[in-house]
Amino acid sequence: MTTTNDKNIATVLHLSTLTQYLIPFGNYIFPIVIWSSKKGESEFIDYNGKQVLNFQLSIFLYSVVLCLIAIPILIYTVFQNIPLDACFHDHDFIINHLKIHNLTGAIIIGIVAVLLFIFMKVAEFVLIIHAAVKASNGEEYKYPLSIPFFK
């Protein structure tokens, strides 16, 4: 039987990941503190804490992979298309040769990676809210595409 207190703590546990928008690494710090202090009191809190941390670590891993794909491709493509004789006029940097037909297929991969990152962050926000609602109703929720680091 899950108590109201357990449901509230699990809900706060999920919502604490939203602190990433205010405090760097808040999406790891606050859930770890809440989960480690309350996991012995309830299996429901323990389950939700593991799900939150697994999801946040998975999102971090996916973000690193997308950045490792997108950033070098975008930098390479931009510098490939900027000639060394790029003009400086009146303290303005003018790029004469950066045109859409000069862009390769690699830039499309980079742009897709950036769009996937944006989609992933929006989906993360929606899934956190959804998981918090499920926890407040006393339901166990498993985040999709979450790697089980903690079992």
Residue 96 in tokens:
């004469």
Q: Is the pLDDT of residue 147 over 70?
A: yes
pLDDT, mean of residues 37-63: 93
Predicted local distance difference test score (pLDDT) of residue 99 = 59
Predicted local distance difference test score (pLDDT) of residue 105 = 72
Distances (CA, A) of 137 to 31, 44, 66, 80, 133: 19, 12, 34, 54, 6
Residue 101 in tokens:
């037909």
Domain boundaries, the chain: 4-136
Better pLDDT: 11 or 75: 11
Helix (H, G, I), strand (E, B), or coil: what is residue 88? Answer: strand
pLDDT tens-digit map of 82-136? 655 555 555 555 555 555 665 667 777 878 888 999 999 999 999 999 999 999 9
- Phi/psi for 83 (5° steps) reads -75, 155
Which residues are within 8 A (CB) of 60 and not within 5 positions of it... i.e. 6 or more apart? none
Report CA 140 to chain centroid distance, whole Å: 22
Q: Tokens 């680091």 correspond to what residue?
A: 149
